Structures are given as C-alpha cells and as structure tokens.
Amino acid sequence: MPKQTVCILCGGRSSEHEVSLQSALNVTAALDREAYKVLLVGIARDGGWQLYRDGPFAIHTDDPARTALADGGELVVPLALDGGMCLMAVASGERLPVDVVFPVLHGTFGEDGAVQGLLRMFHVPCVGCDVASSANCMDKDLAKRLMDAAEIPNARFVMIRSGDDWDADEIAGRLGLPAFVKPASQGSSVGVSKAKSIPELAEAIRLAMRYDTKVLVEEAVAGREIEVAVLGNHEPRASLPGEVIPKHEFYSYDAKYLDEDGAVLIAPAELDPVLTACIQAEALRVFRALGCSGMARVDFFLKTDSTLLVNELNTIPGFTRISMYPKLWEASGIRYPMLVDRLLQLALEQYADRQQNRTTR
Ligand SMILES: Nc1ncnc2c1ncn2[C@@H]1O[C@H](COP(=O)(O)OP(=O)(O)O)[C@@H](O)[C@H]1O
Ligand SMILES: [Mg+2]
C-alpha cells in the first residue's frame, strides 16, 4: 500500500491553543510512519498556517501553560487541486498533496464546524464529526435542544442572548442556587462560574457574556462526573466509562490544565456492570442524536439516585497521553497508535460514503 499523507492541524486561534499543541505532539508521535507520511501544520494565533518539515514544532513542551509553536514554520496555504487538497508553500510555490486531515484543534474554529467546512470545500477527508454535528455540539444551547428533542435528560437551563433583559433574581427563582453559568460555545471551562448568590449570578452572567453572545445558566447537578469515549461512524462503539474527580470547586480551567493535582481521572470508573452498560448505551444514543461521526467524548453527571444527565459532548477531545479519550480506549482495549489509525480510517470511510451522494441534479 502506498503511504497516505496525513496533515495534522494544531494550535489554532482558540483559548485551547496550548492544549492542542500538547495533543498534537502525542498524535504525531503515535502515527505509524510505515503507513503514513505526516505534514505537521501549526496554526498560529494570527491564523497563519505554518508547516514544520523537520525539527520540533513546539517549544516548552514540558510546561502545558507555556507550550507554544516554535519559530521556523514555513507559511503554507490550502488549495483545492485535482479534486483534492494540497498545501502550497507560499515562498517556493511547492505543492504537497494531502490525503486526510486530522484537526487536532480544540474550541472555536477547530471544534465548531469552521475547519470542517473549510476542509469539505477542499474535498479532503477529515477526522471526526462533520460540519453540522461539530457546530451543534459546540453550541451548548443547540446541543441541549437536540437532546431535549430526543428525550435525552440534561440539566435544566435558561439561555440569555446579549442584549436580552435578564433578572438574576428571577433566574435564580427558576433554577435555584448555586447555578452554573457558561458561555454557549467555549471549552476548557473558560468563562464558566458556579454562582452561589444573586450578586454572584449577575456577575457570572456578565463574565460569560464577554466570551459569547449566548450564555447558559444551568441548575447545579450534584453527582459524579462520568465520561465515555465513542468511536465509529455507522456502528459506533462506546468505551468503558471513566470518572473525573475535580479537586477544585468544579472542573475548572486551572483544574484541567494548570494544577497538576487539580483533578483525578479514573479509567475505568468504579461502576457496577449494569450501570456501565446503561451509560454506554446512553452515550451511543447521544452520539447518534447529535449526528456525530468518527469520535466524540460524551460527558455525564451521575446523580446519587443513579439517574444520568448529559453535560456535554466534545467532538475533538484532548489527545494528550493523560487525556480521558485515549485513556478510556486504552482501558477498553484500543491502544493509542491503533486509535489514531482507526480515526484516520474512519475519516476515509466517511468520505467515501459521502462521495456516493450526488451534489448535482
Ligand atoms: N450544571 C452543572 N452542575 C454541576 N457542575 C457543573 C454544571 N455545569 C458545569 N459544571 C462543572 O463545570 C465544568 C465545566 O463545564 P462544562 O459545561 O463541561 O464546560 P466546558 O465545555 O468548558 O468543559 C464541568 O466539568 C463541571 O465540573
Ligand atoms: Mg466539559
């Protein structure tokens, strides 16, 4: 078999730039070089695409907070050419064909359908969810509406748009306190607060509004945080569930990335087999209800009475060695290099499937 060329996209313009670089370091290291040729593209904070042919693409890699793209990337632009995509080096004009793209990008522009749409325009297979499911999962308001339509239990919420008149007193009356406030389309707990009083609620809403034009206020759910990794297209598989035990008040940005002891990740979680099977089945139901393909991590709250609420879906979950998504597959029998390979193959299969559909009359 000829080698396939994989373009890894990482970095990006979101608040999860550093995490993305950490994820990409691991994905790149796990790729089987006998089967794949790698084109590593770091997207700088200004949006420029930089190709790293040799040498490290990231610096300060042992400090997650300071990890950054290295100097020396070569500016490239994506082009649609001969019915597929290539990267063109801006300085030399050299064209490098790409067979499949793995966007190892989190958050805005990476996980929200933007890059998926761009790659679709360029006729190139792309790992993970398509445009619509990426966009729907990224926007917590839309995701919850789709869950409601499919009768998938999730926390009660109020959505506020910027410019709306809102009254913290009235919202607290409907949802109770404490309440969680979050921008509709962020990630990594950026802009998320737990509000315990009416003034805190008002302040939290103002804070979240800085990150988004839509803000969600949710009832606080007391329970365990359980996560399931899903992999596949038409017949997706659910991993064993894992558990996150945050050491902070909740699973905040600091607890996720800055404080080494911020949270304990347990894979697999301690759960009885019946509950495990229920959680896995629910994860697959959510994956399908939101139209996902390739991969997603489904995050739940498991209440003390064993009822399950979906918190959210992450369509490009963390891929660092200690991230939950690869850890859960490891615990379920799929090792990291095999997982990366499977994701690339799923992208190619999904693309081939879509080619069957006519785009003209
Ligand atoms: N309704 C809720 N009840 C209890 N805890 C919550 C609730 N919503 C969020 N949290 C806490 O905040 C964290 C981040 O919220 P989440 O909605 O997952 O945002 P993000 O997309 O940034 O990860 C969760 O992992 C959990 O610890
Ligand atoms: Mg989350």
Write the DSSP string, 201-215: HHHHHHHHHTT-SEE
Place of tokens 């995490």: 19
CA dist., res. 230 & res. 238, Å (int): 5
Mean pLDDT, residues 284-294: 98
For the segment 105-125, the average pLDDT, to the nearest whole number, is 92
Asked if the peptide bond before residue 326 counts as cis, ω within 30 degrees of 0, the response is no
Query: pTM for the full model?
Result: 0.96
Taking the C-alpha atoms of residue 295 and residue 342, their distance in angstroms, rounded to an integer, is: 10
Q: Per-residue confidence at 278, pLDDT binned at 50, 70, 90?
A: very high
Q: Cα(204)–Cα(242) distance, rounded to whole angstroms?
A: 29
Domains and CATH numbers, the chain: 4-126 (3.40.50.20), 136-153+222-354 (3.30.470.20), 157-219 (3.30.1490.20)
- Centre of ligand 1 to C-alpha 252, Å, is 8
pLDDT confidence band for 96 (50 / 70 / 90): very high
Choose between 117 and 81: higher pLDDT.
117
> What is the CA(95)–ligand 1 centre distance, in A?
44
The yes-or-no verdict on residue 247 having pLDDT over 80 is yes
* pLDDT for position 355: 85
Q: What element of type H or E holds 325? A: helix 324-331
Strand partners, 308: 302
What per-residue confidence (pLDDT) applies to 291? Answer: 98
Mean pLDDT over each residue of the chain, to the nearest integer: 94
Query: For residue 312, what are its two tokens?
Result: 């959210």
- When pLDDT is averaged across residues 302-324 and rounded to a whole number, the result is 94
Distance 345 CA to ligand 2 centre (A): 27
Q: Which tops the pLDDT comparison, 189 or 257?
A: 189
Instruction: Output the CA torsion 67→337→343→142 (10° steps).
Output: -40
What are residue 195's DSSP bridge partners? 179
Task: List all residues whose CB is within 6 A of at least one atom of ligand 1.
Answer: 155, 180, 182, 186-189, 192, 218, 220-221, 225, 246, 250-251, 299, 311-312
Question: What's the rounded Cα separation, in Å, for the pair 78 and 59?
Answer: 25
Question: Which residues 6+ apart lie within 8 Å of 2 measured at CB?
Answer: none
- Answer yes or no: is pLDDT of 257 > 80: no
pLDDT (tens digit, 9 = 90+) per residue, 116-160? 999 999 999 999 999 999 999 999 999 999 999 999 999 999 999
Does the pLDDT value for residue 12 go beyond 80?
yes
Tell me how far apart the terminal alpha carbons of the chain are, to the nearest angstrom. Answer: 35
Separation between Cα atoms, residue 250 and residue 280, nearest integer Å: 24
Ligand nearest to the CA of 181: 1
Q: Is the pLDDT of residue 238 over 80?
A: yes
pLDDT band at 189 (very low <50, low <70, confident <90, very high): confident
Interatomic CA distance for residues 38 and 4, integer angstroms:
9
Interatomic CA distance for residues 170 and 155, integer angstroms? 18
- 27 falls in which pLDDT band (50, 70, 90)? very high
The token duo for 120 is: 């679709």
* Residue closest to 251 by CA, chosen among 237, 264, 234: 264
Judged by DSSP in three states, 240 sits in: coil
- Residue 250, pLDDT score: 85
Alpha carbon of 278 to ligand 1 centroid (Å): 22
- Mapped onto helix, strand or coil, the DSSP state of residue 28 is helix
Model pLDDT, residue 311: 97
Model pLDDT, residue 64: 81
Question: In the predicted model, is pLDDT for residue 258 greater than 80?
Answer: no
Alpha helices in 124-231 (DSSP H): 131-138, 140-149, 168-175, 198-209
| β partners of residue 11 | 43
pLDDT for 185 equals 92
More confident site: 314 or 63: 314
Nearest atom in ligand 1 to 157's CA: 1
Q: What is the amino acid identity at position 291?
A: G
pLDDT of 78 reads 96
Share of the chain above pLDDT 90, in %: 84
Rounded alpha-carbon distances, angstroms, from residue 270 to 73, 226, 301, 307, 320: 45, 10, 14, 16, 23
DSSP letter at 44? Answer: P
214 Cα–ligand 1 center, Å = 16
- Nearest ligand (C-alpha, residue 140): 1
Which atom of ligand 1 approaches the CA of 155 most closely? 1
Mean local confidence (pLDDT), 173-189? 92
CA dihedral 292, 109, 28, 287 (to 10 degrees): -10
Residue nearest to atom 24 of ligand 1 (CA): 251
Higher-confidence residue of 286 and 355: namely: 286
Which range, of 55-64, 166-175, 277-286, averages the lowest pLDDT?
Answer: 55-64
Instruction: Please tell me which residue, 189 or 258, carries the higher pLDDT value.
Output: 189
pLDDT tens-place string over residues 195-211: 999 999 999 999 999 99
| Cα Dmax for the chain | 65
Q: What is the pLDDT of residues 49-72, one digit of tens each?
A: 999 998 899 999 988 889 999 999
Measured from the alpha carbon of residue 246, the closest ligand is: 1
